Amino acid sequence: MPRLSCWFIRAALLYLAVGITFGALLLFHKGIPFEPFVWRLLPVHVEFLLFGWTVQLAMGVAFWIFPRFWRSRGNERPARLAFGLLNIGVWLAGVGPLLGAPPVIIFLGRLAEAGAAAAFALHAWSRVKPPGAEPPKIPQNP
């Protein structure tokens, strides 16, 4: 598995563990209310599990298994940018509300997540190809 996929998938697993723990706390609190603060974990729970786990896992596996050009995965820089932007976005949009951040911070988080999707699409586009298709004329990894 390529190193970048290891990063994507290990990060996704960490978000899954924390996201489900917060989900379990939320569920427990619904049954036996013990600490009102728990409800403030809901945005983090949602962000960690929808973007941190689900989207990031999909990107990590796609980067690994999408068709290659012989041994090359094409221009990997947009995929690396997607990794950075996605994780910045999850923290700004997910943890921001928990820390009382102003709405502009959550908006920047969403912008970063959208940027991650666009950057990953830029990387993956040419790899969505039939077997034997010619690689695009773009600079390979520096």
Residues that bind ligand HEM (CB under 6 A): 20, 23-24, 26-27, 30, 42, 45-46, 49-50, 53
Tell me the residue number closest to ligand HEM, measured at CB. 23
- The least CB distance from residue 129 to ligand HEM, in Å, is 31
User: Positive or negative CA dihedral for 110, 114, 115, 116?
Assistant: positive
Whichever of 6 and 24 has its CB closer to ligand HEM, that residue is: 24
Backbone torsions φ then ψ of 69, nearest 5 degrees: -100, 90
Could you tell me which of 23, 20, 12, 2 has the C-alpha nearest to residue 87? 12
DSSP class of residue 24 equals H
- The least CB distance from residue 35 to ligand HEM, in Å, is 14
- The least CB distance from residue 114 to ligand HEM, in Å, is 18
